[in-house]
Amino acid sequence: MRQLLQNAHDRLGLRTNPTRFFGAAFIAIAFSVVTIVFTSRVNSTFSVASEWILTNLGWFYISGVTIFLLFLIVIALGRFGRVRLSPNDEGPDHSTLSWFAMLFAAGIGTILLFWAVAEPTYHFAQPPREAMGVAPESIQAAREAMAFTLYHFGLHTWTIFALPALAFAYFIYRRNLPPRVSSLFQPLLGNRIHGPIGALIDILAIVGTMLGIATSIGLGTLQINSGLERLFGVPNTVGMQIVIISVVSVIASVSAALGIERGIKRLSNFNIITAVLLLVFVLFTGPTLLLLKGTVESVGTYAAMLPELMLWNDTFDNTGWQNYWTAFYWAWTITWSPFVGIFIASISRGRTIRQFVFGVLGLPTLFSVIWYGIFGMATFDRELNGPGGLVEEVVGQGDIPGALFIFLEGFPLATFTSAVAIALVGVFFITSMDSAALVMDMMAKGYEEEGPVVQRVFFGLGVGLITIALIVTTADDGLRALQEVITVIGLPFFALGYFLMYSLWRGLKEDAGELEPLPARRWRRTLPPEEYVRRRGDGVDGDWHEEVGYYDDPDCTEPTRYTSPNGADPLGEVPAGGVTAGIQGASLPDGDASTAKGRDASQPRAD
């Protein structure tokens, strides 16, 4: 079999690992075919599996991301934070602005637009903690809606990307291992990462990544189709969605063929600039002062609720809300993590671990706070002070993909801004696909240098094929069905996250070495003057007088004789009257009044 794969590999002119490439390709194609042919059975299987996972392991998803976040903070603040993710004399490859634009566009650019209006609206109309007394469409519901939205798209989302990204950067650029998921487990598996176990890990990672990206592209397709329907009357059908996926897949494959500098970087920079312009437009054509005040206040609400939300599992009310929101988000995001992780690592070479962690967690979170703050507060202003309508269409009619376009209808130049939003979704869509194609090709071949273009094109088209399969399968209930698929796929990725933390920590300890105890002077034990005199006078047995006494220096071996202010020697001969007479005869002063070679007797004595 190995020779057969090698022969096929050579005939196609590939430069990759045949087992990993063909293994991932076979599973991806088989999944697509089976999904399309046995639609109802596949739907039923994923539905049952997802329901069981969410009912019994939702807490595992929620607590896991918080544990990952705390681990990253400990790593960054500790001594390992100074480790540079490259040879020690090499600085960053990209400016901070370009770095931010690329990691953001490849991370949550697509869902940034999908949920900007939809999630605040949904939580405003149906508060997650309604059972705890939060009334729907109230001021408190609006505050908590912002906190939950920022929880889903703030620190925790970027934690899921940052953990594998940090591990990739460390093992690729410090240990010079292949850019594969199996390399992250080298401290645990050793050379077995190059054998069957490593190949299995990489194949599953590639396939899982394709499914995660396909889910995001499926959501993006629903949004593009909804926008085209509202603007131009384009039918919102499965056939049109397949056309959209096909067109974008071709464009993404071309961008991937051009590489990072000529394709992905330029598209990412264009996208982030356009997104900022749309944000500024909403800010200055809407109730500007309210949006600014509300965004700042949302940060406070998020910060206040975050400690509780980090481990909140809806235990007592058991409404099931988290099953289809938080748990789904974490499962969905973690299936992206191998692809986003390698991509972020590749653009973060040269930064220290501390810079990396706080940059990847901080910069995108700051932008998310501003983005969702502006769009969220504008949404609440429309519902509380304006004509409303968002709650009815987004929640009542379930038009979540169309939420952004309904929102923009309340602003000037609605047609133009909606067209810009559609273009933004499409370009984010493209940057996600081309980045994924580039990374999956890297994972399959095991090195960073560019290989044959056909390999990158294959992975780009492969993601498109899986997306089409998911769209066809979930046509009746697109969003809910996509959630069920990704919840199941995300479970093994979460389990691997714990092994990943241990592997990274172990690797850092092995390479940085253990710190020796801080050297310090050795101090001898010191007795109070009266106790020292008493022991001498009473003739206490033992060698205590060699280990204790009055000492000026930590290394001295002989007791220093102290003198009282009147010149008497308390350590002289003990009078016949015993220790009491000795103390009286020596006229021992209080400890603070004694001096030793000019030093205050209250100074530390030798240990």
Nearest residue to 19 via CA among 144, 167, 203, 170: 203
Q: How confident is the model at residue 72 (pLDDT cuts 50, 70, 90)?
A: very high
What's the pLDDT at 598? 38
Compute the average pLDDT of residues 588-595.
Answer: 39
Q: If you search the block for the tokens 């590489």, which residue do you land on?
A: 259
Ranked by mean pLDDT, which of 259-263, 268-272, 547-551 comes out on top? 268-272
Query: Cβ(592)–Cβ(545) under 8 Å?
Result: no
pLDDT digits (tens, 9 = 90+) for 434-462: 777 888 888 888 887 777 888 888 888 88
Q: What whole-number percentage of the chain has pLDDT above 90?
A: 31
What tokens does 598 get?
């000019």
Average pLDDT, the chain: 80
User: Which pLDDT score, from 0 to 100, does residue 74 have?
Assistant: 95
591-600 per-residue burial string, b: 16 or more CB within 10 A, e: under 16: eeebebeeee
Given a cut of 60, whether residue 559 has pLDDT beyond it is: no
Joined together, the tokens standing for residue 396 give: 């009542």
- How does residue 557 score in pLDDT terms, banded at 50, 70 and 90? very low
Q: Using an 8 Å Cβ cutoff, are 19 and 452 in contact?
A: no
Residues 6+ apart with CB under 8 A from 101: 268, 269, 271, 272
**Max mean pLDDT range (318-327, 372-381, 489-498):** 372-381
Annotated domain spans of the chain: 19-512, 529-600
Provide the pLDDT confidence category of residue 108 given band limits of 50, 70 and 90. Answer: low
Q: Which is higher by pLDDT, 47 or 107?
A: 47
The pLDDT value given to residue 542: 60
Q: Give the DSSP H or E segment for 433.
A: helix 414-445
Q: Which of 332, 374, 606 is nearest to 489 (CA)?
A: 332
Q: Which two tokens stand for residue 387?
A: 């004509």
Summarize pLDDT for 174-227 with one digit per residue, the tens. Answer: 899 998 999 999 999 998 998 899 999 999 888 888 888 887 788 778 888 888
Using pLDDT thresholds of 50, 70 and 90, give the confidence band for residue 527: low
The pLDDT confidence band at residue 7, using thresholds 50, 70 and 90, is confident
Confidence label for 411 from pLDDT (cuts 50, 70 and 90): very high
589, pLDDT greater than 70:
no
- Alpha helices (runs of H) in 260-325, residue ranges in sequence order: 265-285, 288-309
- Across the range 40-56, mean pLDDT stands at 85
pLDDT classification of 550: cutoffs 50, 70, 90: very low
CB 328 within 8 Å of CB 487 = yes
- Residue 519 has a pLDDT of 67
The percent of residues above 70 in pLDDT, for the chain, comes to 79
Per-residue pLDDT at 548 exceeds 70: no
The SS3 call for residue 127 is coil
- Give the torsion through C-alpha atoms of 106, 110, 111, 114, to 10 deg: 170
pLDDT of residue 332: 81
Q: Give the residue-averaged pLDDT of 404-411.
A: 92
pLDDT tens digit string along 212-237? 888 778 877 888 888 889 888 888 88
Checking if the pLDDT of 463 tops 50, the result is: yes
CA distances to 214, 271, 275, 431, 559 from 110, in Å? 12, 11, 11, 9, 76
To 5 degrees, how large is the angle CA 85–CA 16–CA 489?
75
If we measure between CA atoms, which residue out of 320, 335, 294 comes closest to residue 54?
320
Query: What number is the average pLDDT over the span 267-280?
Result: 82
Q: Which of 86, 19, 17, 26 is nearest to 447 (CA)?
A: 17
Give the per-residue pLDDT at 580. 39
Instruction: At 555, list the tokens.
Output: 């290394």
| Residue 58 contacts residue 312 (beta carbons within 8 Å) | no
pLDDT band at 555 (very low <50, low <70, confident <90, very high): very low
CB 388 within 8 A of CB 382: yes
**Is a pLDDT exceeding 60 seen at residue 262?**
no
Give the pLDDT confidence of 112-148 residue by residue, as tens digits. 788 899 999 999 999 999 988 999 999 999 999 999 9
pLDDT score of 15 more than 60: yes
User: What would the two tokens of residue 453 be?
Assistant: 């273009």
CATH class of 19-512: mainly alpha
pLDDT at 357: 95
pLDDT of residue 515: 58
Whether residue 399 is predicted with pLDDT greater than 90 in this model: the reply is: no
Highest mean pLDDT among 17-21, 90-94, 478-482, 589-593: 17-21
370 touches 155 (CB < 8 A): no
Cβ atoms of 482 and 470 closer than 8 Å: yes
Residue 423: Cβ-neighbour burial (10 angstroms; 0-12, 13-18, 19+): middle
